[in-house]
């Protein structure tokens, strides 16, 4: 532990600030939170994620894991900015115009859904034409790294889950485990919640667990023995990775390591996306 430097008192706020500076281990770090943010001109906020190494996938002891989650070490070599929330209806329309998805109902702060992987790439191309940064979908490894936020448990907060932690099982026909709880906090059944309805993870990201599945850039395939492959072609039609689980079904789909996929032309009512803003 570092020794505390004693300075003349200049009020309580000053004393607390000095103590935090001297006790550097109390300040936010890669281990608990990211503290550098950028907000663009359409209200999308991005949090800087620092490079690091983590174990991707789940241990064989994790309850209800799938066989495609084999653990392997991944190194994130470059910093990147990841969107704090899923892309909202307001943010979608700010780029694509009001006529695209014009029949879609919902408040401005609801996550956009029923957008295919190819729709997301169209959105990204239009956003990049503004010339105010380079945007893209996260790789699957980047997504899990940010979702875990330094954790090694099934969920970023621990091994268990309940309806107050994240949005899942909000379906009166398929899985209604949480519908009564959400009704009590004014969240309608049979759909996602507004972004930021649940607490963020340790690095400040909202709804990495649940609400809507999120498209990633990668083709869905078995993990390689070495570092994860991140290159992809926007012209192929191989299934693309989706991550995070959704409001539609069960809690175990929300685990940090859980994976699913979809054809890049598919438009799911359970699926949206969040973006990466490249750090350079």
Give the tens place of pLDDT for each residue, 125-168: 999 999 999 999 999 999 999 999 999 999 999 999 999 999 99
Residue 20's nearest CA partner among 33, 2, 36, 37 is 2
Residue 244's nearest CA partner among 205, 210, 193 is 210
Integer Cα distance of 109 and 194 in angstroms: 5
pLDDT of residue 18: 34
Work out the percent of the chain whose per-residue pLDDT is above 90: 77
Q: Which CATH number fits domain 31-278: 3.90.1580.10, 3.40.50.10490, 3.40.190.10, 3.30.70.260?
A: 3.90.1580.10
Instruction: List pLDDT tens digits, range 242-276.
Output: 999 999 999 999 999 999 999 999 999 999 999 99
pLDDT of residue 2: 32
Sequence spans of domains, the chain: 31-278
Instruction: List pLDDT tens digits, range 68-112.
Output: 999 999 999 999 999 999 999 999 999 999 877 766 677 999 999
Tell whether the model's pLDDT for residue 231 goes beyond 60: no
pLDDT of residue 98: 80
Helix (H, G, I), strand (E, B) or coil at 77: coil
DSSP string across 210-273: BSSEEEEEEEP-PPPSSSPP----SS----EEEES--SSS-GGGGSTT-EEEE-TT---TTEE-
pLDDT of residue 29: 41
pLDDT of residue 79: 97
pTM check: above 0.75: yes
pLDDT of residue 256: 98
Residue 133's nearest CA partner among 39, 16, 31 is 39
Contact criterion met (CB below 8 Å) for 82 and 205: yes
Band (pLDDT 50/70/90 cuts) for residue 19 is very low
């Amino acid at each position: 532990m570092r020794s505390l430097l004693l300075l003349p008192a200049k009020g309580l706020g000053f004393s607390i600030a000095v103590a935090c500076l001297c006790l550097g281990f109390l300040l936010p770090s890669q281990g608990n939170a990211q503290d550098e943010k950028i907000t663009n001109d359409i209200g999308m906020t991005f949090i800087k994620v620092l490079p690091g190494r983590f174990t991707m996938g789940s241990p064989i002891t994790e309850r209800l894991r799938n066989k495609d989650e084999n653990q392997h070490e991944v190194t994130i070599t470059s910093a990147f900015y990841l969107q704090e929330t899923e892309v909202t209806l307001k943010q979608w329309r700010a780029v694509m115009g009001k006529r695209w998805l014009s029949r879609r109902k919902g408040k401005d702060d609801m996550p956009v859904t029923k957008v295919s992987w190819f729709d997301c790439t169209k959105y990204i191309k239009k956003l990049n034409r503004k010339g105010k940064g380079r945007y893209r979908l996260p790789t699957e490894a980047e997504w899990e790294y940010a979702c875990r936020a330094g954790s090694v448990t099934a969920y970023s907060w621990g091994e268990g889950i309940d309806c107050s932690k994240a949005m899942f099982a909000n379906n009166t026909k398929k899985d209604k485990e949480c519908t009564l709880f959400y009704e009590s906090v004014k969240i309608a059944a049979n759909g996602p919640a507004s972004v930021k309805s649940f607490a963020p993870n340790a690095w400040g990201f909202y709804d990495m667990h649940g609400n809507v599945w999120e498209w990633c850039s990668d083709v869905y395939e078995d993990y390689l023995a070495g570092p994860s492959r991140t290159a992809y072609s926007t012209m192929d039609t191989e299934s693309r990775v989706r991550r995070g689980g959704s409001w539609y079904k069960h809690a175990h789909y929300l685990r940090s390591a859980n994976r699913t996929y979809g054809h890049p032309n598919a438009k799911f009512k359970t699926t949206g996306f969040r973006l990466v803003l490249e750090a350079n």
